[in-house]
Amino acid sequence: MLLPAKSEVARQLRHYRAWERSMLASPTDVTVRTTFEDSGYTLCVLMGKRCAREAADAAERYLRTNLLTHAQERTERTERLSPAGHRTPSGAA
């Protein structure tokens, strides 16, 4: 399965959230509402969802996965090099 670039997902999610705030501040502004809906549609296409709110949630989860995976990998590396498994230089006792 092809996944979108995280940088593009982050950019589109920021764009969507910014227009969401603008739309909530000016709900009767047709231009703002249209642009908000367009940004939601773009996020839906990018994330493969039918609803903009679901797409935004999916984008946030997708962006978090890298952070969680990175944190888990760091923890695993730290555990491997912990004092119990600490490697000593050759010749040292």
Question: For 29, which DSSP code?
Answer: -
> What gap in Å lies between CA 53 and CA 2, rounded to an integer?
21
* Mean pLDDT within 5-17: 96
Q: pLDDT-based confidence at 2, cuts 50/70/90?
A: confident
Q: Which residues of 46-66 are buried (b: 16+ CB within 10 A; e: fewer)?
A: bbebeebeebbebbeebeeee
Q: Would the pLDDT of 14 be above 80?
A: yes
* Mean pLDDT within 88-92: 52
Q: Is residue 70 part of a domain?
A: no
Q: Is residue 15 part of a domain?
A: yes
Q: Is residue 86 part of a domain?
A: no
The pLDDT, as a whole number, for residue 34 is 97
* The total number of structural domains that make up the chain: 1
Range of the domain at 26: 1-62
Q: Is residue 8 part of a domain?
A: yes
> What gap in Å lies between CA 66 and CA 81, rounded to an integer?
23
Q: pLDDT-based confidence at 70, cuts 50/70/90?
A: low
Beta strands in the chain (DSSP E): none
The pLDDT, as a whole number, for residue 54 is 97
